[in-house]
Amino acid sequence: MSTPLEHWRDELGFIPHLPGAPEAINADSFDEDVLESPLPVLVEFWAARCGPCRRLAPEMAAVAEQFAGRVRVFTLNVDEELEAARRFGVLSIPATLLFVCGEEKGRILGLTDRDALVQLLRPHLNEPAE
DSSP state of 53: H
Which position among 43, 50, 61, 71 bears the catalytic label?
50
Cβ pair 26, 80 in contact under 8 A: yes
- Sequence letter at residue 106: G
Question: Rounded to 10 degrees, what is the CA torsion of 8, 18, 114, 41?
Answer: 150
Catalytic residue among 53, 60, 62, 121: 53
User: 50 an active-site residue?
Assistant: yes
Residues designated catalytic? 50, 53
